[in-house]
Amino acid sequence: MKRRVKRLLNDLDGEIREHIELAMQESMARGMTREEARHAAMLKFGNVTRVKEDVREVWTAVWLEQLVQDVRFALRGLRGTPGFTLVAMLTLAIGIGANTTIFNAINALLLRPLPYPDQDRLVRVSLRDPKYPQYGAPVSWTDVAHWKADSNVFEQIEGVSAPDIVAMSGGGFGERASVQHSNARLFPLLGLKPFLGSIPADDKTETAGLSGVALSYEFWQRRFGGNPKILGQTIFVDTYSGPIMAVMNPGFDLFATGPADIFEIDGVPSAADSGIGDPRWILAIAKLKRGVSVQQAQAEMEVVEQHLAQQFPEEYKGMGVRVEPLKQGLFGWSAYILYLLLAAVGFVLLIACVNVANLLLVRADSRRKEMGVRVALGGGGRG
């Protein structure tokens, strides 16, 4: 492309010279001297340089070439003032980096949809502690069992814990690992399919105690070398032992609570067999029946909670219940904090831009004489 444009410009020079030469010959034939004829031909033709530039703009992407020249000139200027360049880059990097970090958190927790099907039907069911009514409190396996037995608005309701660090052993080694407790039916509820193996969700998993474990892909690779024959082997997690049922997909992070190494598949006791007083430390995730709204589920669960308060006053008296869309129930509490942080770091970026603008003004003022000389010589004021 560059060679072609250069050849065309050379041809243009030749045509301009021929045009001027013909005009000179006509003028000399009328009795002018060669110098007079050349002067007349140049006046008639006009500014040769301007004509070349106009034709060149038609033939080439001049704006792109000018942009490249401006970038080169800017880089030379920055190399010539390393102190100014370093201060400006660090100032902008702090502002942009902080904003990028907070926005990524907002996007992951509040804006980007969760990677589960039927999200409009997925809800979190939690207790409302009268001391902290604005937050959803964790529940117990007993709460889940009673809600399963007494409510008619949920297609399924299952439980999962936040990651916890416990001791585990198996495969000839022992270590501390991040463990997350869940019941088996949560995985099909969320449409989750393991990378290897399967997590059966039949009636056999609906008994209390550890039914088996699933490993994260990263833990499987790190500790078992990606051995596909690991399925069925028994490992000890905390004080329980169970077979390895499955390996989850790479990067799996249930509800963005932090990646766990091991997922304990716990059975859930029935309402008749469950006891009262077990610790409340899990999240209850439910899928609404088709046609049931969050408001309808909330109304029914309040009635269910009143009945439980009458049957078990020590455990449920004064406690309310919350039914919220899953994303709101999991991360809604963080919205105020994250948006407040975004406003704060946005203000930091604004201050950074103002500081850099002030540095540029100071730099421009120090080069006022240089710019004056450039303009006087016809070189323009850029730079």
pLDDT digits (tens, 9 = 90+) for 229-273: 889 888 888 777 888 999 999 988 877 666 788 888 876 655 555
What's the confidence (pLDDT) of residue 32? 82
Question: In this prediction, what percent of the chain has a pLDDT beyond 70?
Answer: 83
Mean pLDDT for the chain overall: 80
Helix, strand or coil for residue 299? helix
- Name residue, tokens 């709101």: 328
The pLDDT tens digits for 50-77 are 776 666 666 555 566 667 777 887 787 7
What's the confidence (pLDDT) of residue 28? 81
> Which long-range contacts (C-beta less than 8 Å, at least 24 apart) are formed by 185-191?
185/156, 185/158, 186/158, 186/159, 186/160, 186/285, 189/156, 189/158, 189/285, 189/287, 190/116, 190/122, 190/285, 191/116, 191/117, 191/118
DSSP summary character for residue 257: S
Cβ–Cβ < 8 Å for 167, 176: yes
List the single range of 105-119, 160-174, 305-319 with lowest mean pLDDT: 160-174
pLDDT band at 191 (very low <50, low <70, confident <90, very high): confident
Q: Within its chain, how far is the Cα of 339 from the centroid?
A: 15
The type of residue at 371 is M
Rounded to an integer, what distance in angstroms lies between the CA atom of residue 11 and that of residue 50? 16
Rounded to an integer, what distance in angstroms lies between the CA atom of residue 92 and that of residue 107? 22
DSSP 75-102: HHHHHH-HHHHHHHHHHHHHHHHHHHHH
Burial class (CB in 10 A: 0-12, 13-18, 19+), 104: exposed
Residue, of 324 and 33, whose pLDDT is higher: 324
Q: Which of 43-47, 340-344, 377-381 tops mean pLDDT?
A: 340-344
List the single range of 102-116, 225-239, 269-283, 307-321 with lowest mean pLDDT: 269-283
Burial class (CB in 10 A: 0-12, 13-18, 19+), 332: middle
Pick the closest to residue 299 from 132, 148, 152, 129 (CA basis): 152
The pLDDT tens digits for 108-148 are 788 888 888 888 899 999 998 777 777 788 888 889 888 98
The pLDDT tens digits for 322-364 are 999 988 888 887 888 888 998 999 998 999 889 888 888 887 7
Burial class (CB in 10 A: 0-12, 13-18, 19+), 337: exposed
- Residue 233 neighbours by CB distance under 10 Å: 12
The type of residue at 231 is L
